[in-house]
Homo-oligomer: A and B are copies of this chain.
Amino acid sequence: MLQHAAMQRILPIAAALFLASTLLTSSVRADEGQWPPHQMPELKATLERLGIAVPVDQLSDLTRHPMSAIVSLDGCSASFVSPQGLIVTNHHCAYDSIQRNSTAANNYLAKGFLARTKAEELPAGPNERVYVTESVRNVTAEVLAGIPPDLGGAQRTRLIERNSKALIAGCETSRDYHCTVESFHRGLDFYMFRQVMLRDVRLVYAPSEAIGNFGGDIDNFEFPRHTGDFAFLRAYVGKDGRPADPAPENVPYGSKDFLTVSAVGVKAGDPILLAGYPGVTSRYKLPAELRFALEHDYPKRVAHSKRDLDTIAAATDGDAEAEVRYAATVKSINNRMKKLQGLLDGFARKDIVAIKDEQLAAFLAWSATQPQAARYTALIDELQGLIERDQRLSEQEFAASLLTASALLGTASTAYRFAVEKAKPDAERDPGYQDRDASFIKARFERLQQSYVGKVDSARWLSALQAYGKLPEAQRDPAMAAVVWRGTDPAVRLDSDYAGSKLADTAERVALLQRSASELQASTDPFVQLAVALYPLQQQLRDQRRAVDGDLDRVIPQFMQAVIDWRRSLGQPVYPDANSTLRITYGTVDGYAPADGLYKGPFTTLQGIAAKHTGKDPFDAPPEQLQAIAQRRFGAFVEPTLGAVPVNFLSSADTTGGNSGSAVMNARGELVGLNFDSTYESITKDWYFDPAITRAIHVDARYMLWVMSELDGADDLLREMRIVYPAGERHEAR
């Protein structure tokens, strides 16, 4: 402890001594950008300057190492780490799989899980999928084929949907493939992704929650962090090597590519690459959009989240069973609320609106010098008007979401819409309601069972209805409200709704998906009746959304093209906002100053776990871990510049939600960590990447290896992986 503390004490002295020279030679790095692999050649100079040894051409090729080892878990990222389909991702990404296999008597969350043989590996769950991106194709021309450039409104949206569905249908040649068409630069470009979809996924190894979720919700978005947020899954296929439904006779997937794991690791200042599937960012949105979020949307959502949490707390109070069922919901609302609060705090700390205003002013100044100046001005004017329409509509959508905030009503509405769509030929159905989507809808209906209690659902709906009544009049939807109210006080009505419905029963819910629209119209279930009555109004709202989106899809690409032209004129390559597709980001292992006089990171160490340990959840380190730390059983995993085993570290890589589980690689493309969170000050990066304070939080591969070897005896897995140890370390005897 002393050694470490003394070391940290020396840091700033060394820094001070060499500061002057460093200040003169170092430029501030801007590690901004979640880059589609095909853009990597544009970053050649940058990556070479950083010291990345993997050639950019190799990085841009999804069929080559290391990108062909990167996979998606639908909402999380992951990577292959052995030729036998072994996958490493975050503990929190495998959470559902661990929970599903746990019982009160045999709780794998609490004690961890390790399959000693492949036969012991457990089904991760019927809906778990591993997506291996096989190819990406620019399909802009096909998506926009037959659409007049000046066509807007719902018609444009419908045509884009139609063309996309046709492309997807052509691409999904079998159940082995999952294809998506994604819009880039808000409709400027479209790419189609073809992914092999592996449907038999199994749980291989997860440390105990006391390691995998050390710090829990308290440490969420926080640093210093000491979370061992990692777990291992394995993809299985049929004996023919093709994707197959889960079956005991399936065999491990022969992963063509996998990442080498580095036990040498990285140190402060080292470059890193990070590859995964970031969800959504809003970097190119206009100041008006940020203002709306900051001044109206986020505060409203924070307030409603608080109300919802209070409602759940009151409705589950003293009912342990109900509390457990809503634990995941509460956790998720808390997470969203902390993120929203982080956005509001971040905007209060730094005037990002002013920065966006400046950026727009700079663009306008440039555009005024261009031949198409008049067209740009008209474009911006039209866009501002459209954004206002979009905002009004999103307020209406929020009001509608309050009016329909019942899980049972939501189920009934989905079932009725599915029935209506089912009557059409598959290709003409709404996206999300085609045959390919049926199994996912059914899975959602089944999963509701784990997180539903009638009295709580009823209380949440009632509370939402009361909140609806307090919305400004302009934001309300009287027609929809009248249908929901049904001429009665909801406080009275709701009790009979829940008493009279059978939808709390899973079999009844799933059976709805077999019914035709007319059968559902004849149903006596109060929620089905309400869903049928609401359907035309909800369709209206969806049509309005299509109309606004269609107009945005007509105008925004022209604006984005202008922005790209402007940025390129400044010599800046332009990356598209995140859209859940495979991206590469790069950065440096680096701490940050969250406040004047305060500095965090870049590393935390094993000793910090012992220091944080209180014995109470979520700071309840396992005794054997504390003992190993006290005895300094550090194995081969000491970072020499720290004199300690690193646990988590920070980098300046550009990440967002969806990047959980992303491989963090060193200059040679070896796995040195997994991304799992970002710091509280970084939350505003969804709108604006501030290189001074934006830091992603990674679990160090050396901590993973230390836990596996020193605590959990996962020797077979260690042997299965290809691990690079520091020179001089002997590991043959393992």
The residues of A with any CB-CB pair to B shorter than 8 Å are 1-2, 4-20, 22-23, 26, 28, 223-226, 267-269, 349-350, 588, 590-593, 595-605, 607-608, 611-612, 640-641, 648, 691-693
A20 (CB) vs chain B CBs: closest residue: B641
Please name all residues of chain B whose beta carbon is closer than 8 Å to the beta carbon of A4 when the two chains form the complex.
593, 596
Q: Which of B18, B612, B693 contacts A5 (CB 8 A)?
A: B693
Q: A6-B28, A600-B597, A600-B598 are in contact. Are A11 and B12 (CB under 8 A)?
A: yes
Q: Which of B15, B590, B607 contacts A596 (CB 8 A)?
A: B607
Please name all residues of chain B whose beta carbon is closer than 8 Å to the beta carbon of A22 when the two chains form the complex.
10, 13-14
Of A14, A268, A604, chain B has the most CB atoms within 10 Å of the CB of A14
Please name all residues of chain B whose beta carbon is closer than 8 Å to the beta carbon of A10 when the two chains form the complex.
15, 19, 22-23, 26
Q: Min CB distance, A695 to chain B, in Å?
A: 10
Q: Which of B225, B268, B600 contacts A13 (CB 8 A)?
A: B268
Please name all residues of chain B whose beta carbon is closer than 8 Å to the beta carbon of A20 when the two chains form the complex.
640-641
Q: Top 10 nearest A-B pairs by Cβ distance?
A: A596-B608, A224-B597, A8-B593, A16-B268, A5-B692, A597-B604, A599-B599, A11-B15, A15-B15, A14-B22
Q: Is the CB of A611 within 8 A of B349?
A: yes
Please name all residues of chain B whose beta carbon is closer than 8 Å to the beta carbon of A17 when the two chains form the complex.
18, 269
A649 (CB) vs chain B CBs: closest residue: B597
Apart from A12-B268, A17-B269, 13 more pairs, CB < 8 Å = A2-B692, A5-B693, A6-B691, A7-B19, A8-B593, A13-B588, A13-B590, A16-B269, A20-B641, A225-B597, A595-B608, A596-B604, A597-B605
Q: Min CB distance, A374 to chain B, in Å?
A: 36
Of A10, A18, A590, A605, chain B has the most CB atoms within 10 Å of the CB of A10
Whole-angstrom CA separation of A167 from B301 in the bound complex: 76
Whole-angstrom CA separation of A182 from B497 in the bound complex: 84
Q: Min CB distance, A24 to chain B, in Å?
A: 11
Please name all residues of chain B whose beta carbon is closer than 8 Å to the beta carbon of A16 when the two chains form the complex.
267-269, 641
Q: Is the CB of B593 within 8 A of A9?
A: yes
Q: Is the CB of A590 within 8 A of B692?
A: no
Q: Is the CB of A611 within 8 A of B599?
A: no
A650 (CB) vs chain B CBs: closest residue: B597
Q: Which of B18, B599, B641 contacts A8 (CB 8 A)?
A: B599
Q: Is the CB of B607 within 8 A of A12?
A: no
Q: Min CB distance, A676 to chain B, in Å?
A: 15
Whole-angstrom CA separation of A18 from B11 in the bound complex: 9
Q: A15-B14, A267-B16 are in contact. Are A592 and B9 (CB under 8 A)?
A: yes
Q: Is the CB of B590 within 8 A of A9?
A: yes
Please name all residues of chain B whose beta carbon is closer than 8 Å to the beta carbon of A19 when the two chains form the complex.
7, 10-11, 14, 641
Whole-angstrom CA separation of A14 from B1 in the bound complex: 23
A601 (CB) vs chain B CBs: closest residue: B597
A608 (CB) vs chain B CBs: closest residue: B596
Q: Min CB distance, A347 to chain B, in Å?
A: 14
A-B contact pairs, 7 of them (CB 8 A): A10-B22, A13-B268, A16-B641, A19-B641, A20-B640, A597-B648, A598-B598
Q: A6-B692, A18-B18, A693-B5 are in contact. Are A597 and B13 (CB under 8 A)?
A: no
Q: Min CB distance, A159 to chain B, in Å?
A: 45
Q: Is the CB of A595 within 8 A of B224?
A: yes
Q: Min CB distance, A257 to chain B, in Å?
A: 32
Please name all residues of chain B whose beta carbon is closer than 8 Å to the beta carbon of A612 when the two chains form the complex.
595-596
Q: Min CB distance, A497 to chain B, in Å?
A: 47
